[in-house]
Chain A
Amino acid sequence: MPIDPQCYHEQMRIYLDYNATAPPLPEVVAAVNQAMTTTIGNASSVHTFGQQAKAELDTARTSVAALLGAESSEIVFTAGGTESDNLAVRGAAEALEPAGRRHLITTTIEHEAILNTVRALERRGWAVTSLPVDTTGLVDPDALRAALRPETALVSVMHANNEIGTIQPIADLAAIARAAGVLFHTDAVQSAGKIPVDVKALGVDLLSLSAHKFGGPKGAGALWIRRGVRLVSYLTGGRQERSRRAGTENVPGLAGLGVAARLAIETLPHREAVAALRDRLETNILASVPGTVVNGDPARRVPNTSNISFEGIEAESLLIALDLEGVAISTGSACSSGSLEPSHVLRAMGLPTARARNSLRFSLGSATTADEIDVVVNVLPRLVSRLRQLGRPSAAVR
Chain B
Amino acid sequence: MRIVVAMSGGVDSSVAAARLVEAGHDVIGLSMQLYDQRHGAESFGSCCSLDDLHDARRVATALGIPHYIVNFEHEFRETVVRNFVDEYAQGRTPIPCVHCNSTLKFAHLVDRAAGLDAAAVATGHYARVVFDEDRRRYVLRRGVDAAKDQSYFLFGLTQDQLAHATFPVGHLTKSEVRAYADRLQLAVARKPDSHEICFIPNGRTADFVEAEMLRSREGSDLRKTDAEDLRSPEASASGRHPDEGDIVDSAGTVIGRHHGLHRFTVGQRKGIGVTKPQPLYVLRLDPADRRVVVGSKQELGARDLQATGVNWIAGVPPAGPTRVTARIRHRHADAPATVISDGDGLASLVFDEPQLAIAPGQAVVFYDGDDVLGGGWIANRAR
Contact = CB atoms under 8 A, between A and B. Distances in A.
Contact of A8 (B66, B114, B184): B66
A340 B71 contact: yes
Interface in A1-54: 1-9
B79 A390 contact: no
Interface in B61-80: 61-66, 68-75, 78-79
A390 B37 CA distance: 29
Interface in B224-245: none
Given A8-B66, A9-B64, A396-B107, A321 B21 contact: no
Interface in B15-55: 18, 21-22, 28, 33, 36-38, 42, 53
B115 A339 contact: no
Interface in B57-97: 61-66, 68-75, 78-79
3 smallest beta-carbon distances between A and B, as pairs: A5-B64, A338-B69, A340-B71
A2 B184 contact: yes
Given A320-B68, A337-B37, A339-B38, A3 B116 contact: no
Contacts of A321: 115-117
B102 interface: yes
Contacts of A2: 62, 184-185
Given A116-B42, A398-B103, 13 more contacts: A5-B63, A7-B64, A8-B66, A317-B116, A320-B70, A323-B66, A338-B71, A390-B115, A393-B111, A394-B75, A394-B111, A397-B78, A398-B102
Contacts of B137: none
Q: How large is the interface on B (under 10, 10 to 19, 20 to 34, 35 or more residues)?
A: 35 or more
Contacts of A372: none
A320 B4 CA distance: 12
Interface in A302-346: 314, 316-317, 320-321, 323-324, 337-340
Interface of B: 18, 21-22, 28, 33, 36-38, 42, 53, 61-66, 68-75, 78-79, 102-103, 107-108, 111-112, 114-117, 183-185
20 contacts: A1-B183, A3-B22, A3-B62, A3-B63, A8-B66, A316-B71, A320-B112, A320-B116, A321-B116, A324-B116, A339-B71, A339-B73, A386-B117, A392-B111, A394-B74, A394-B75, A394-B108, A396-B107, A397-B79, A398-B102
A27 B115 CA distance: 41
B114 A390 contact: yes
Contacts, number: 81
Interface of A: 1-9, 116, 314, 316-317, 320-321, 323-324, 337-340, 386-387, 390, 392-394, 396-398
A339 B28 CA distance: 19
B250 to A, nearest CB: 37
Nearest to A5: B64
Per DSSP, are chain B's interface residues mostly helix, strand or loop, or mixed? helix
Nearest to B2: A324
B62 A397 contact: no
Contacts of B68: 320, 323
A271 to B, nearest CB: 33
Contacts of A394: 72, 74-75, 108, 111
A364 to B, nearest CB: 23
A190 B368 CA distance: 64
Contact of B65 (A1, A8, A398): A8
B90 to A, nearest CB: 19
B343 to A, nearest CB: 19
A144 B64 CA distance: 51
Contacts of B71: 316, 338-340
Contacts of B64: 3-9
A394 B33 CA distance: 15
Contacts of B73: 339
A394 B64 CA distance: 29
